[in-house]
Amino acid sequence: MIPEDRPITAQLNTPSSHSLPEEDQSVLQIWGRQPLAGQVKISGAKNSALVIMAGALLCADDCRIRNVPSLVDVSRMGEILSSLGVKLRRQGDALEINASHIGQAKAPYELVSQLRASFFIIGPLLARLGVARVPLPGGCAIGARPVDLHVRGLRALGADVQIEHGTVHAYIRGSKQRLKGARIYLDCPSVGATETLMMAATLAEGETILENAAQEPEVVDLANFCRAMGARIRGAGTNTIVISGVPSLHSTDYSIIPDRIEAGTFLVAGAITHSELSLAPVIPDHLAAVIAKLRSIGADVISDAPNRLRIVPGQRHGATDIKTLPFPGFPTDMQAQFMALLTLSEGNSIITETVFENRLRHVAELNRMGADITVKGNIALIRGVPMLSGAPVVATDLRASAALVLAGLAAEGMTQIQCLHHLDRGYENLEGKLLEVGARLRRIDADMELPSSEAPGSPLPT
């Protein structure tokens, strides 16, 4: 965590890609079958924070972003911005960003390779400086996320874009060094491409129309942030976004939206442990697909206030089928968590993953805990079982790690989860929040042995 009122760069000790992250040296032990109760504070949206930090490059004045979660990914994005000459300072959950003096237009590979979201900087860098050099972000555990839509869109805006030796070189020809508005159709509603091109178009000459644009709440959040800086954007949240370019943007003080995936994860935590949990702040419309599926299995979600939801589990939960889709469909980022829940639901459920081709690797770990899941291609058949049993498991990606935590909360005995660096990328103080509502768990060094029966009476995360 970055201490308050300290330069963010002083606190970023991201390991090199050739060293084992410190988080890999610890494990999370969970003693399951504990009832949960109470209220959970939902943090700011990780995926909004990352792209809005990149969006601050568009502005030559100070920007303050509030409700920024304290996460490994946020720290890594801060390192990338700092490498460009941007000044950052954290005060509580607020992040002050000053991009008035960008010293260079090239991001270092050793940083970009650790965070795919860092590729977002190419749009605002190009729009602001007329040139950008960003390494290709490389592979991803959950599947391919090519940048061809980004590249084609930037070319449509008038940029010269070449890919050489693993780096995307983009620059604007001519003395004005401004992109030119264009009509761009995206072959698929890519969130990353939509956000990259929307940021690039804010400072372009003329009007840009993005068709088949992504409609995710984080896209709307970025548009609202850019509008707060003086950008002219309309249609965000629909499949057609229109951006009328302006010469420059000004400073702003902006608060990002609550994290809908964290909120969904805690809703499932209540359901899988048959416990009532209250969550705030949330935006219920962002969780419509998740709420619908919870209700379809027999749980209920009650809105106690405009920004507060309460999960009321059913006595028994039944099966349901899920197909992941772009927003407003069921989010791929909630697929693993729901699979954990469906392992304990009566009957047979089918999950079809359509967004990422390699996002079912948590199946083997859930089966290790006693689940009955069969995978064929991108389809998982889940046969509900009466009980899960605690076991040593390995997190394979961010949302898989959350699914294993949920399974551990419901399992008999102790579950021990390795590779916690995935979890730390996207959940702020997850262990602390679970402890506050009654979970029994602790994080320990990997070489520290504890008998499975030795559950701590008042566990504290380390």
| Cα–Cα dist 211/198, whole Å | 11
Residues 347 and 204 in one domain: no
Among 206, 238, 255, where does a domain finish? Answer: 255
Residues 38 and 132 in one domain: no
Catalytic pick from 59, 140, 226, 419?
A: 140
Among 228, 255, 282, where does a domain finish? Answer: 255
- Answer whether 331's CB lies under 8 Å from 290's CB: yes
- Answer whether 249's CB lies under 8 Å from 225's CB: no
Residues 348 and 424 in one domain: yes
Residues 340 and 434 in one domain: yes
Decide if pLDDT at 230 tops 80. Answer: yes
Residues 60 and 25 in one domain: no
Among 197, 221, 255, where does a domain finish? Answer: 255
Residues 155 and 288 in one domain: no
Residues shown for the chain: 462
- What is the model's pLDDT at position 142? 38
Helices 335-342 and 260-272: crossing angle, nearest 10°?
A: 10
Residue with the bigger pLDDT between 11 and 198: it is 198
Specify if 28 maps to a domain. yes
Average pLDDT of the residues in 333-341: 96
Decide if pLDDT at 163 tops 80. Answer: yes
Give CA 344 to chain center in angstroms. 26
- What is the model's pLDDT at position 76? 92
Residues 264 and 151 in one domain: no
| Cα–Cα dist 336/356, whole Å | 12
Domain assignment of residue 414, given as a range: 13-43+259-445
Specify if 3 maps to a domain. no
Specify if 451 maps to a domain. no
Mean pLDDT of the chain: 89
Q: What phi and psi, each to the nearest 5 degrees, are found at residue 65?
A: -110, 125
User: Is position 188 annotated as part of the catalytic site?
Assistant: no
Structure token digits, residue 187: 């072959």
| Cα–Cα dist 327/191, whole Å | 10
Specify if 71 maps to a domain. yes
Structure token digits, residue 390: 């605690």
Structure token digits, residue 340: 């954990």
| Cα–Cα dist 421/396, whole Å | 10
Decide if pLDDT at 10 tops 80. Answer: no
Total structural domains in the chain? Answer: 2
Residues 235 and 264 in one domain: no
Residues 335 and 217 in one domain: no
Residues 78 and 156 in one domain: yes
Specify if 180 maps to a domain. yes
Count of CB atoms within 10 A of residue 429's CB? Answer: 17
Q: What is the per-residue DSSP string for 307-339?
A: TEEEEE--SS-B--EEEB-STTSB-GGGHHHHH
CATH number, domain of 327, equals: 3.65.10.10
Decide if pLDDT at 168 tops 70. Answer: yes
Instruction: Write out pLDDT tens, residues 302-320.
Output: 999 999 999 999 999 999 9
| Cα–Cα dist 462/460, whole Å | 6
Average pLDDT of the residues in 365-379: 95
Q: Identify the weakest region by mean pLDDT among 41-45, 257-261, 373-377.
A: 373-377
Decide if pLDDT at 460 tops 50. Answer: no
- What is the model's pLDDT at position 278? 98
Residues 55 and 154 in one domain: yes
> Sorting pLDDT into bands at 50, 70 and 90, what band is 183?
very high
pLDDT above 70: percentage of residues in the chain = 88
Decide if pLDDT at 445 tops 80. Answer: yes
Specify if 453 maps to a domain. no
Helices 72-83 and 46-55: crossing angle, nearest 10°?
A: 10
| Cα–Cα dist 27/166, whole Å | 35
* DSSP run (H or E) holding 52: helix 46-55
- Answer whether 407's CB lies under 8 Å from 265's CB: no
Residues 435 and 409 in one domain: yes
